[in-house]
Amino acid sequence: MTRRRRRRRAIIVPVVSMGDIAFLLIIFFILCSNIAREAGIPVTPPLSADLEQVDESTLVVAIDGGGQLYFQGRKVHTAESLEAELTTHLRDATSDKRRRVLFRCDQAVDRSVFEPAMDAITRAGGIVVAVGAKSTPTRK
């Protein structure tokens, strides 16, 4: 009795859908990149009753509770070096929306620490968009 051998079918891998998946992953990581730049810097935002919702900005300046200055998630030592980096980033910005700089500052930071950073942003041509937490107004 002879056995017949079955021919194995060739396995077809859908290569076209792999390109779609790669494209979707690229979009996902681009959208999450702003969140990743801000995630490592612990900041407790100041409270205010008068806050408005603003669009997200691509440039982020942050000051943590210890007074350390960060630009795009990297440590910056002085306000002057922050101004120099911002100037190069804002050189080609034509619209006000592209000139917005998200400014995150811990509520414990003294005015003498955050004011030079805010001045550096405006001297570089940026528009300061400050971050705060909504508080409930107190009644007297």
- Encode the chain (140 residues) as per-residue pLDDT tens digits: 677 777 778 887 777 788 888 888 888 877 766 554 555 566 555 555 555 555 566 788 888 888 888 888 888 888 888 888 888 888 877 777 777 888 888 878 888 888 888 888 888 888 777 765 544 555 55
Residue 112: per-residue pLDDT = 85
Tally of CA atoms within 13 A in the half-sphere of 67 that contains its CB: 9
Residue 122: per-residue pLDDT = 85
Specify whether the CB–CB gap between 96 and 123 falls below 8 A. Answer: no
Residue 121: per-residue pLDDT = 86
